Amino acid sequence: MIASSVRRLRPVLRPPASWPFAVFILVLLILVGASATRIPLSVAFAAYALFVAFTIRTVRRLPVEPGIWLGRRAVRRGLVALIALVCLDFAIGPALLSGAGALLFLLLVLCDVALGRATSRIASAREDAVDERQEALRNRAFRAAYAVFALAIGGSVLIAYVWSPDSRAWMATRLSGGAILVFLQLLFFLPAMTVAWMEPDRLGDEPAPARARRGLERLAMGMVGAAVLLPIVLSLTLLGPFRTVEHVEPIVGMPHGSCQYFHAEKQVGILFGATQALNAVACSDGIRAEEAWGLNSSDCLPSSAVFVEVLSTRCSRTTDSNGTLRFVYSARVRSSLLPFLSRDMVLNLELARDGRVVRFP
């Protein structure tokens, strides 16, 4: 006799619960691998832009209904907080028409698309398309959003104007940069952001969505997470260890005594980072060590800088009374996306008068 309850066979393959994390790790490995094989940055950036486009398409395929992750208030509030951080970064950080600015813009577009799905676009819907509850929520959100908008725009402009001539000059530079985008973001999306912040969790009476839709939901969540977290994680690699390559080679046939060729590269960050390079020839004749070439102020330039700003803080060459040559090139590397992150990089060369390399790099 067949039992009344049918025992379902377990599927051989089941979407793992950690799909979002897996998607993120996969994309990170691809980009780090691209960095290792020195694929041009423009190709990597184009690939990222394509990935963001696919993510937007995947998110738009998600149905907006109770139970979906975008229906949870905690997720929506996280999304609003992320948009606020991106806006803050635009207001104080990179220029609009820069690599970092383009990256932030892509992020903002993605977040706005997710915001629209999360709020069912009720902020801009016609009056006959919303029910009473949604109408009340939208009205409360518009009042709160207008107050925030007026205080944010009016307050910041007034304070920047009145505070000091330096703050006025700062405002002048920002008004021609990312601040315009922040203003447009607040003008067109602040009501939707307020709705997303205020609306409680959407609850439904229907049973949980079908397995295929759950898989799509997890895939979308993973892709959004990857698109958002990737630039942040790559910026955080600025805090990682330095990678240094050094090479010293004697040079024969030069008339200035015993000469050596010095090559060093110090790299920080993965894909988002900077490389500091030193290529020089220095000679010693037993009385003093001297530079032949490559140890001048014009040589203190970064070899590469990707989504970071490099500021040379010290570039000096001295020869002391013992005839020892000392060269110091130090620079501060600051992340374009996370301006509060910075590292100091230093390259040193100390060559004694007898040709002994005291310190390198």
Instruction: Write out the chain in H/E/C secondary structure.
Output: CCCCCCCCCCCCCCCCCCHHHHHHHHHHHHHHHHHHCCCCHHHHHHHHHHHHHHHHHHHHHCCCCCCCHHHCHHHHHHHHHHHHHHHHHHHHCCCCCCHHHHHHHHHHHHHHHHHHHHHCCHHHCCHHHCCHHHHHHHHHHHHHHHHHHHHHHHHHHHHHHHHCHHHHHHHHHHHCCHHHHHHHHHHHHHHHHHHHHHCCCCCCCCCCCCHHHHHHHHHHHHHHHHHHHHHHHHHHHHHCCCEEEEEEEEECCCCCCEEEEEEEEEEECCCCEEEEEEEEEEEECCCCEEEEECCCHHHCCEEEEECEEEEEEEEEEEECCCCCEEEEEEEEEEECCCCCCEEEEEEEEEECCCCCEEECC
Smallest gap from residue 115 Cβ to another protein (A): 16
Total residues at the site for another protein (CB under 8 A)? Answer: 23
Q: Is the CB of 145 or the CB of 216 nearer to another protein?
A: 145
Smallest distance from another protein to CB 159, Å: 11
Query: Contacts with another protein in 165-184 (CB under 8 A)?
Result: 165, 168-169, 171-172, 175, 183
159 interacts with another protein by CB under 8 A: no
Choice from 25, 36, 88, 158 touching another protein (CB under 8 A): 158
To the nearest whole angstrom, how small is the minimum distance from the Cβ of residue 105 to another protein?
Answer: 20
**Smallest separation, CB 121 to another protein (Å):** 14
18 binds another protein (CB under 8 A): no
How far apart are CB 162 and another protein at their closest, in Å? Answer: 5
> Which listed residue (63, 154, 240, 286) binds another protein by CB under 8 A?
154
* Residue 247 binding another protein, by CB under 8 A: no
Closest to another protein by CB, 64 or 125? 125
Q: State in angstroms the smallest separation of the CB of 145 from another protein.
A: 8
Whole-number minimum distance, CB 146 to another protein, in Å? 5
Q: Looking only at residues 183 through 202 of this chain, which bind another protein when binding is defined by CB under 8 A?
A: 183, 187, 191
Q: Is 26 in the site for another protein (CB under 8 A)?
A: no
Footprint of another protein (CB under 8 A) = 139, 142-143, 145-146, 149-150, 153-154, 157-158, 161-162, 164-165, 168-169, 171-172, 175, 183, 187, 191
